[in-house]
Amino acid sequence: MALLQSIQNPEDLKRLSIDQLPELAAEIRAAIVEQISRSGGHLAPNLGVVELTIAMHYVFDFGHDRLLFDVGHQCYPHKLLTGRLPLLGKLRTREGMAGFPEPRESRFDLFSVGHAGTAISTAVGMARGDLLNKDSFDPKSRPDGRRVVSLIGDASIVNGVAMEGLNNAGTLRRQFLVVLNDNGMSISHPQGAMAQYFDRLRINPYYADLKRTARKVLDKAPGGKLIEEAYHRMGEATKAMLAQRAEAGPELAWFEHFGLVTVGPIDGHDIPTLVEFLAEAREFDRPMVLHVKTIKGKGIAFAEGDAEKFHSPAAFIVKTDPDSPEAPLTSEGCRVELKSGGRSFTKAFSDAIEGVMTRDEKVVACTAAMPDGTGMSKVMRTFPERTWDTGICESHAMDMMAGLAKSGFRPFFAVYSTFLQRAFDQAFQEVSLQGLAVRLCLDRAGLVGGDGAVHHGFCDVALLRTLPGAVITAAIDEPSLVAALEFMRTHDDGLSAVRYPRENVCDTFAHDDCPAFEFGKARALIEHDEPDAAVLVFGALAEQAKDAIDSLGEDLRVSLYDARFAKPVDDALIRSLLERRVPVVTVEDHSAIGGFGAAVLESAAAQGLDASRVRVMGLPDAWIHQDSRAAQLTEAGLDAPAIAAAIRASVRGGARMGVVVKRDEGRVGAEA
């Protein structure tokens, strides 16, 4: 690790010779694999951009120039080249390196980013800002001005926001570089016509000669003419492709329809070629797309062999061939054993949705580029004609499900809570307004652990509660998730949703029968005739609430209810408790603003009840950054000790509405 340890900032990188850069790339890969094997994290996407990242930092000065990441889960090499090697050992924790670009960490990170399709638009904004500030690069008047580079993957390029960004990028009258990282993958295999277009480029026999073509260009082009000559020669290659596949015609000049000069594809693992092309692109005074072909998981045999599985694995153990125990990670003799993490809600959903589709041939389902992440992969293999992966197109997926609902089907859309936000307009216009029964399965609801603030599912209830007729449920364990999906299957009166966390299912209530979901009714988990207090929990924090009640011993009689519904809430239960002056504590893994607790307060007000005995416990009005989910719950004041303290305070007559945010050495907690 001698070279990597010598890199404190990109200026140190520039002191290395180009011949040393492959060795540096190998050290970066080894460091990333070693850490992710211990902590988990994004592996294959980072391995695929090592040479590309090195080359970009070798050519540009991103302390001055602008580098905008799309999605951001490919930023580890960038972070290691910008002085954050000491933070790698605590990857995805508060004390260590975030798994996504994070401006709080470094001036080299411009945006906290974890959603796809945004980089071109934010880059256009910065490019326009630099123009207005008279700070942008111009080869004649401001040769030391700021350049702008956007790094985006081919599966992100089909996102609607990326299309809008490209449409505006072509109107710029200045340097603007879009580096298209074409690895043939997103998180899983990309979908749609655009993905097929890139596939045609990759499989065409001319592609095998493009690296050689690029080298000829580099050898022959006079100084300052590389891009123009490369553009011409690559154009000749693509014309030959057109002759072979006439039906593909206009696609191969696709980006140029947006007004962006397009060069490539070039080999994204050939550092000298990358450096020379980027050096010329650095001086180009028009918007450009540099199409770079990379291999997701590059350099590590097991990651290359299954880039989907190793996109973001849990911790793992590397096993080598017993006959070659010192074999490098690049060898085919290496294999890995993922550390078992228990049965997740995602796996429980996978089995449950398969059961739903088996029972009802009218059920169809889709996901947006997350078949493994949402657990849809299994059911997609079982029912290939009734399931779809739309690619990174949540808005399209929602509308497609609306169309299927209008056609008489019962559609389920499996999507991370954080990505639902991207389709809220469609949930409003094409689903709820039409009275269509689209069913949302919201994985990663609440705090998500190491992915941090960019991925927390903290506002889905608040968003969906505004939609007339929407029904919002939550699961506390696997049996309740199965019951929720069955309820949604037969609920044909409008939009419905079930939320569940990035967590293992608990068995705390497994010994109890799980009754069917009854519209707007809570389920009693612990019930006393004359309770000292009652806890209404919405979702998977039921386990923490039960632990809190157990810790109080027999001195307090505390009833516990699985609320099940945030819309509609159980008005009768709320009335019964408040009319008897029973203190009520609501608990949810969601923002206290607009969430389940707020719905309870609204119910009390609508019924003319005294809500002063209601205490709301939810996520505070503050960002909670990367760490373990358990640590985040403690920080938010939603662990068992905090719930127990809230119950005691309520019984003492200290109940008060709302959330008080506490700040202690930069950490945030919530106490209602």
Ordered DSSP codes for 139-165: TTTBTTSB-EEEEEEHHHHTSHHHHHH
Q: What is the CA radius of gyration of the chain?
A: 27
| Buried-exposed string 92-118: b where 16+ CB fall within 10 A, e elsewhere | bbbebbbbbbbeebbebbbbbbbbbbb
Q: Bridge-partner residues for 66, per DSSP?
A: 148
d(CA 50, CA 269): 8
d(CA 303, CA 48): 10
User: Could you tell me the two tokens for 598?
Assistant: 């707020």
Quick check: helix, strand or coil at residue 333? Answer: coil
Q: Identify the residue whose tokens are 């050689």.
A: 212
Q: Identify the residue whose tokens are 């009258």.
A: 173
Best CA proximity match to 183, nearest among 374, 21, 315, 51 = 51
Q: What's at 166, amino acid-wise?
A: L
CB-facing half-sphere around the CA of 421: CA atoms within 13 A: 16
H/E stretch holding 604 reads helix 596-606
| Buried-exposed string 51-66: b where 16+ CB fall within 10 A, e elsewhere | bbbbbbbbbbebeebb
d(CA 169, CA 171): 5
Which listed residue (79, 233, 386, 422) is catalytic? 422
- Span between the terminal Cα atoms of the chain, in Å: 49
d(CA 502, CA 155): 24
Q: Specify the DSSP class assigned to residue 516.
A: P
Active site residue 662: no
Tell me whether strands 316-319 and 261-267 are parallel, antiparallel or unpaired: unpaired
CA torsion 472-474-479-481 (nearest 10°) is: 60
Which listed residue (296, 489, 564, 567) is catalytic? 296
Q: Bridge-partner residues for 387, per DSSP?
A: 365
User: Could you tell me the two tokens for 669?
Assistant: 């907690």
- Residues 109 and 101 sit within 8 Å (Cβ to Cβ): yes
Number of Cβ within a 10 Å radius of residue 495: 29
Q: Print the SS3 string covering 528-540.
A: CCCCCEEEEEECC
Tell me whether strands 558-562 and 523-526 are parallel, antiparallel or unpaired: antiparallel
Best CA proximity match to 462, nearest among 618, 670, 608 = 618
d(CA 114, CA 457): 13
Number of Cβ within a 10 Å radius of residue 340: 7
Active site residue 296: yes
Which listed residue (51, 251, 304, 394) is catalytic? 394
Burial degree of 654 (CB within 10 A; 0-12, 13-18, 19+): exposed
Active site residue 256: no
d(CA 120, CA 55): 20
Q: What's at 478, amino acid-wise?
A: E
Enzyme catalytic residues: 296, 394, 422
